[in-house]
Structure 1
Amino acid sequence: MSDITLSTGVRQNLLSLQKTADLMATTQHRLATGKKVNSALDNPTNFFTSASLQTRANELSALLDSMSNGVKTLEAADNGLTSITRNLESMQSTLRQARQDKSFKTMSYAVDLGATPAGTETMSFSGGAIGATAVDIELTGAQGIFTGAGFAALDFDSAADNSYAGSLGFDVAINGGGTRSIAITAVDADTLSVSVDGGAATTLDVADVEAVSATELQDLLNAGFAANDVDITASTSGGELVLTSDVIADTGLAAVAVTNVAETLAGASDSGLAGGAGSTSTPIAKSVDALVDEINMNSALDSKIRASNDNGRLRIENQSTQELDVAGLTPAGIVDGGAGTGTIGGNAVRTEFATQYNLLRDQLDKLADDSSFNGVNLLRGDNLKISFNETGTSTLNIQTKDGKAINSYNLGLTSLDSVDLDSDAAIDAIIADVGAALDAIRSQSSALGSNLSMVENRQDFTKAMKNTLETGADNLVLADTNEEGANMLALQTRQQLSSVALSLASEADQAVLRLF
């Protein structure tokens, strides 16, 4: 090209046209890429600053993916807790239905010990809610009776000096527990007094302290018993003094053991109490009402069986899901203290409720096991770590309380046997345990909800930061397409004008050709 000689005008126009072409190429590149800085050669400062901002934006974008997974993991755990809550409420409902059910099995027995029982006869209960150790109920009672030739022979006077020092003392063991000491003394010729356990004396006028009748002793004792809140009633039978207990409603069948009879009577009338023996115990059959009271008042049978009078028959209700064993029956099933036995079935409805409860308890564990997302299950105690910045200095560790898995064991809910639903008190205790488990689940759900709120807040913040970084990076390198378009139009016009100018310059060089 150095051998070609161009005129000054042509060369100047050619250079101008080349510069215009370069500028058009640059402008076309900017329009094609949308960037005014495409390499470090274009603008090193803007190029590297934009690259740094874009790199951080890309890192935040990766963190947003991690946060999104964390949110879904929390949502999966919340789904599990919601279902577990409904499951626990179903368990509570099952227990309440069991408590309301009273379809306990019953059996009514005729009671026949004969007209004169030979001695102490018993019936016993075992099994059911009572257990292996049998609880015995006496079928016969006893009356404490002062015996002798007749109370008219009693003489409380010392005879010799009218000091009225005679006395009669004895102890009574009251049916149902407790012993009271009774002392009868002469005050004067026609007054007797009675004291209980050495307390204040109660007096009664009699015809003659030297000839006391059984009726007078009856009235004296009843006055003393009433004044001292002693649950005994005195009566007479065939000229003899009979003491019976008031503890059981059927007082005629209650037992009072009369012991330690001591007498200091005047003269030869001591024989009036048959030489001081003073008492006998006569077995008699207890009525059905007496047996009902005794069974229902027995603390070892409380809330385990219940007795009632079924039209003269002893009705026993087995308040258990297990079979109750009854002993002391005839082969025909009559209560007589014999060697025969019988059974009363358990509550099958409560047994079924125990089965339902256990199925729901197992389902609770399955719900917790299935509440995972992407291999992380917070309800199994897994730890979820979420990073909020690219340097890892801002993180959140999410885990259940104390890192324990959410399951029936950690919630304190054990599998039930049907016997666990025997009593209302036991069911109430289990309902309370399920209520405590519900409170724990609600607390855990609240904690996870708080964590979810924090993650979503950081997620929104990170999205805003990513947008800010990308916008800042773009502002440094992106081209203004409107401006570049205007530049292109101007350059095109300039190129055309340069071409015309080049043509005119070339025409000047062509003028010499006209000479030929």
Structure 2
Amino acid sequence: MTSLLTNNAAMTALTTLKSINTQLDMTSNRVSTGQRVSSAADNAAYWSIATTVRTDNASLSAVKDSLGLGSSAVDTTYNGLNSIITDLQNMRAKLQTALQPGVDRAKVQTEITAIQSKMKATADSSVSSGQNWLSVDSSAANTAYQATQSVIAGFSRSTAGAITYSRINVEVSNIKLYDVNAASASVPATEAQVAGSTSLTGTSAFTAGTADFSAASAKQVNFTINLNGSKTQNIKLDATTLGAAVKDLAKVTTDEVLSAINNQIAASTGANSVKGLVAASLDTQGRIVLKTTTAAAASTINVDVVAATGGNALVDIGFGTTAGLAVVAGKGTDAGTSNAKGILDTVDGTTSQSINSINISALSGTTGDATLATLISQVDKAISSVTNAGTKLGANKTQIDGQKTFVDTLMKANDRTIGILVDADVEEESTKLKALQTQQQLAVQALSIANGASANVLSLFR
């Protein structure tokens, strides 16, 4: 039937043309952007994942930059230390020369003074990105000073979305050579603590990141905390004690283990209670740590592994599995003071001179020779201390370089993940584009023919 009011053929052709145009627009967008998922409308799940990974990669890029700056600072400091070690060796040689009979020690002192000036200049100029770790000012007035410099080394996002950063710490207070601060530095009291021998997830209690404490596994952790030699608390982890505290006894997490330990500590009562006096946590290596809440030399803590009960098998969470095995006790320290000066400007108690202020011009006779021998020994100790500082920096450098390589590899892996999720197959899309263009032309022709049908009908009335 042919109708003047309704052109079914034209409507069908128009619908087909619209569908083809929609597909053509989508394919053209994929070809032009190189992505098959360029917005949430294309695939909400893939777009969300890819956006999160891109955000993580941006954070990793910032971490990589931080590692680069940290590496530069470590390199600069390390080169300064190497140069100063050579200067100290020259100074020791000059002092040994001054031991020889008939040597003009005033002239030797002129050379020593030059070496001292060079070492100070080297330390003062060992600056990278505005940071100097060899020549510092640790006085209270200098709020910019940090005894420990932290280099951001890693970025991670938990399943809950929590973001954490790992750090590589450089102990500037242990490698500094000169310090403007003439006062004694305050050293805070420390807590007593005991750490496991290995990461919690690497112990026999855990497999694939979780621990099976179900009744069928018959696993049990059993140890006693002894605090200050007088207060004790037994910690027992098994199917019974964990039953109401964890989501799945067959897949107990490290967080749930820590919570269970801290809950049992908090529930302790009586005169020997350790409630509020000790807490469990994980250190940067993932090891379980038991630490007192009081910082003082009087704070002591140790852990004794005890036998399992009820026919269960004793398993390790870092404190061993042999009953009666006492973990080495941890002991706190009292607050105190320490010399704030650096390796080269600290005055030696025997010679009353620092490396930076050694002066032999007035030394003479047997007494002078004895003082020279002591000064040589002092320089030897300084060489050893500076060498140790270089060793510590070398370890930091190795850490930073290794982390830079890892972060770079991780960023590339993330890029591949994004590509798998959202990148378009250019060959496939270009082929599809040509096919759709052909279909579009045919659909336009079909619509044109359908629209011409009314003219054929009018010819019947001529």
Per the shorter chain, which TM-score range?
0.5 to 0.7
Q: Give the conservation status (yes or no) of the 8 Å contact 1:364–1:408.
A: no
Could you tell me how far apart the structure 1 residues matched to 2:407 and 2:386 are? Answer: 31
- The equivalent of 2:377 in structure 1 is 432
Q: Give the conservation status (yes or no) of the 8 Å contact 1:421–1:427.
A: no
1:513 positional shift: 4.7
Q: 1:130-179 CA distances to partner (integer Å, 9 max, x unpaired)?
A: xxxxxxxxxxxxxxxxxxxxxxxxxxxxxxxxxxxxxxxxxxxxxxxxxx
Could you tell me how far apart the structure 2 residues matched to 1:62 and 1:483 are? Answer: 36
Q: For 1:213-362, what aligned pairs fall within 5 Å after superposition?
A: 349-362=104-117
Q: 1:409-432 CA distances to partner (integer Å, 9 max, x unpaired)?
A: 238423214123654443333222
* Structure 1 residue 508 corresponds to structure 2 residue 427: no
- The equivalent of 2:135 in structure 1 is 380
Q: How has the CA–CA distance of structure 1 residues 401 and 441 changed in structure 2, closer, same or farther, with 3 Å as cutoff? A: same
Could you tell me how far apart the structure 2 residues matched to 1:409 and 1:392 are? Answer: 39
* Structure 1 residue 397 corresponds to structure 2 residue 169: yes
Q: For 1:129-140, what aligned pairs fall within 5 Å after superposition?
A: none
1:31 positional shift: 1.3
Q: How has the CA–CA distance of structure 1 residues 421 and 407 changed in structure 2, closer, same or farther, with 3 Å as cutoff? A: farther
1:88 positional shift: 0.9
- The equivalent of 1:371 in structure 2 is 126
Q: What letter matches 2:151 in structure 1?
A: I
1:59 positional shift: 0.8
**Identical pairs, percent:** 26
- Secondary structure, aligned partner of 1:395: strand
Could you tell me how far apart the structure 2 residues matched to 1:419 and 1:513 are? Answer: 129
Q: What letter matches 2:345 in structure 1?
A: Y
1:464 positional shift: 1.4
Q: How has the CA–CA distance of structure 1 residues 14 and 418 changed in structure 2, closer, same or farther, with 3 Å as cutoff? A: same
- The equivalent of 1:473 in structure 2 is 418
1:77 positional shift: 0.4
Q: How has the CA–CA distance of structure 1 residues 354 and 421 changed in structure 2, closer, same or farther, with 3 Å as cutoff? A: farther
- The equivalent of 1:89 in structure 2 is 89
Q: For 1:189-200, what aligned pairs fall within 5 Å after superposition?
A: none
1:500 positional shift: 2.6
Q: Give the conservation status (yes or no) of the 8 Å contact 1:70–1:384.
A: no
Q: How has the CA–CA distance of structure 1 residues 383 and 373 changed in structure 2, closer, same or farther, with 3 Å as cutoff? A: farther
Could you tell me how far apart the structure 2 residues matched to 1:421 and 1:498 are? Answer: 111
1:389 positional shift: 2.8
Q: Give the conservation status (yes or no) of the 8 Å contact 2:105–2:360.
A: no
Q: For 1:49-68, what aligned pairs fall within 5 Å after superposition?
A: 49-68=49-68
Could you tell me how far apart the structure 2 residues matched to 1:482 and 1:512 are? Answer: 46
Alignment gaps of 5+ in structure 1: 104-346
Q: 1:272-322 CA distances to partner (integer Å, 9 max, x unpaired)?
A: xxxxxxxxxxxxxxxxxxxxxxxxxxxxxxxxxxxxxxxxxxxxxxxxxxx
Name the TM-score, length of structure 1 as normaliser: 0.49
1:482 positional shift: 1.5
- The equivalent of 2:268 in structure 1 is none
Alignment gaps of 5+ in structure 2: 137-146, 156-162, 178-341, 348-353
- The equivalent of 1:78 in structure 2 is 78
Q: How has the CA–CA distance of structure 1 residues 402 and 441 changed in structure 2, closer, same or farther, with 3 Å as cutoff? A: closer
Q: What letter matches 1:420 in structure 2?
A: L
1:451 positional shift: 0.8
Q: For 1:32-181, what aligned pairs fall within 5 Å after superposition?
A: 32-100=32-100, 102-103=101-102
Q: Give the conservation status (yes or no) of the 8 Å contact 1:81–1:445.
A: yes
Out of 487, 492, 500, the position equivalent to 2:432 is 487
1:6 positional shift: 5.0
Could you tell me how far apart the structure 2 residues matched to 1:74 and 1:428 are? Answer: 34
Q: What letter matches 2:127 in structure 1?
A: S
Q: Give the conservation status (yes or no) of the 8 Å contact 2:85–2:383.
A: yes
Could you tell me how far apart the structure 1 residues matched to 2:24 and 2:172 are? Answer: 65
- The equivalent of 2:395 in structure 1 is 450
Q: How has the CA–CA distance of structure 1 residues 369 and 507 changed in structure 2, closer, same or farther, with 3 Å as cutoff? A: same
Name the stretch that deviates more: 439-448 or 33-42. 33-42
RMSD, aligned α-carbons: 2.3
- The equivalent of 2:9 in structure 1 is 9
- The equivalent of 2:251 in structure 1 is none
1:473 positional shift: 2.4
Q: Give the conservation status (yes or no) of the 8 Å contact 2:105–2:363.
A: no
Q: Give the conservation status (yes or no) of the 8 Å contact 2:34–2:423.
A: yes
Q: How has the CA–CA distance of structure 1 residues 362 and 408 changed in structure 2, closer, same or farther, with 3 Å as cutoff? A: farther
- Secondary structure, aligned partner of 1:388: strand
* Structure 1 residue 410 corresponds to structure 2 residue 346: yes
Could you tell me how far apart the structure 2 residues matched to 1:34 and 1:393 are? Answer: 33
Q: How has the CA–CA distance of structure 1 residues 418 and 399 changed in structure 2, closer, same or farther, with 3 Å as cutoff? A: same
1:85 positional shift: 1.1
Out of 497, 500, 504, the position equivalent to 2:442 is 497
- Secondary structure, aligned partner of 1:361: helix
Q: 1:80-106 CA distances to partner (integer Å, 9 max, x unpaired)?
A: 101101211221222233233x33xxx
Q: Give the conservation status (yes or no) of the 8 Å contact 1:64–1:459.
A: yes
- Secondary structure, aligned partner of 1:355: helix
Could you tell me how far apart the structure 2 residues matched to 1:14 and 1:47 are? Answer: 32
- Secondary structure, aligned partner of 2:79: helix
| Larger Rg computed on CA atoms | 1
Q: 1:168-191 CA distances to partner (integer Å, 9 max, x unpaired)?
A: xxxxxxxxxxxxxxxxxxxxxxxx
Could you tell me how far apart the structure 2 residues matched to 1:483 and 1:44 are? Answer: 22
Could you tell me how far apart the structure 1 residues matched to 2:125 and 2:45 are? Answer: 54
Q: What letter matches 1:371 in structure 2?
A: S
Q: Give the conservation status (yes or no) of the 8 Å contact 2:72–2:128.
A: yes
Could you tell me how far apart the structure 1 residues matched to 2:165 and 2:58 are? Answer: 18
Name the TM-score, length of structure 2 as normaliser: 0.54
Q: Give the conservation status (yes or no) of the 8 Å contact 1:404–1:410.
A: no
